[in-house]
Structure 1
Amino acid sequence: MSVIETADAEGGGSLHQRILSNISEKILSGAWAPGHRIPFEHELTTEYNCSRMTVNKALSQLAKAGLIERRRRSGSFVRRPQSQAAVLEIQDIRLEVEALGLSYRYERVARHKRRSSAEDRSLLELDAVGSVLALECRHFAGKRPFAHEQRLINLAAVPEAIDEEFLAIAPGPWLIGRVPWSEAEHRIRAVAADRHIAAALDIEAGAPCLVVERRTWSAEHPVTHVRFTYAAESHTLVARFRPSQG
């Protein structure tokens, strides 16, 4: 988010500056959380005893700064911070969240060791039946859910995972610290949130979501398959590349 210019170029901008400062302070302090509805223009006009033009100008500047979004007929709302993840990199979600200036929290929802099903073997590209560890986790940005994680770990490749509860550390950084990966694959798609995902991310059922699925290998051995689901409005994927040399 860019810095808001508080000086009014037209002069006599103290009231305009006060509206900007008051609203931005409530947003940046967290008093108004992402998604909070800003008072309507006529409400702010009454509160500050000023013209609607002055209020509109202040809200337009807040929108330009990326602090709020204005929706026709609905009003203005505190904008959700949007993270950017590189498509060709393995990102640490903690770093993504902290880059937004928000506090990070991790929660393990479920952990099960099981004999691999046909679906498990397909996701991990396993040739034979074996043991896998299935994990469900949530990652938070501030007070709000940021990403939902569903992960399979191939215990033949990472047998020490069976002794890790994953209560204090997320599976991603734990694996990176122990198993050097040699190859990874990303698949990206859009989905509508089902009831389970909607509850996990605190969004409406049917809301658009971005799903990033990743498989990693170590020396040609499948290590893990993970599916991260994000609310679409809070996440962007970025790829930088060069022209083919072929």
Structure 2
Amino acid sequence: MATPVRDETRHVTDDNISTQVQSKVKFQKLSIDTSIENKQRKQTQIDLKTYEIFLNKSTTEKNKITNEAKEDDDISNLDQLIEVDEKIEKTNNIILGLQKRLESIEFDKDVKKLHERNDSTGIYYLFDTLTSKNRKYYPKDWIFKHKMNNIGDIPVFLNSFQQFIQKYEFDNIFDQQIQNIDPRENEILCKIIKEGFDESPDIVNINTVDISRIIRDLKKKIHKPFWQRYKIKGLGKGVGGYNL
């Protein structure tokens, strides 16, 4: 019986599909996370409004009972008054808990936004990497000087950008195993790499807000016939430690 021959073409296609699936799952997860956060915020706001209405009704009821007792000089409604007081106290505690929950949700969201800060060195932004917390990004010092004016510049441009993120110890977004990075780090890297683009929108989608997608889209711009010419110049497969 003949030995089955591995279909190399199918294998490459499967690898590409796998990468696309991983990327799709990543974006779906980010979308789901955002959706869950929004749902939690909306539900907490609804609950808070509901209990505030209930508190107003209970307070009105207490005032009515108190006024009636004063007018009639009657203490027969004392048990009812105590019951309403207990409702008000419990409702106040629930409202306080909902307010703290809402503040927590907003804080978690806010903490992942870039905020301009200042120290003696100048303006900086805080961000986390997968291995360290509260790193400082100084725009005036962390300058990516390389420019990309046409598709032919992509190999050297990407190689230079990879060296840049290694120099400043960003997460290696060229590693496909790295799926989720700090949104602030992502925003910083998107800003830095886009500053290296020329004004031509056909190089890459300039509205993209995901650094991994920008890298992937740039790699796709290099077609095989064009790439072969770069291999002859010594800029072929393996530039910067990755395969385009």
Superposition TM-score, scaled by structure 1 size:
0.25
More helix by share: 2
Query: 1 or 2 for the larger relative contact order (CA 8 Å, sep ≥6)?
Result: 1
Larger Rg: 2
More strand by share: 1
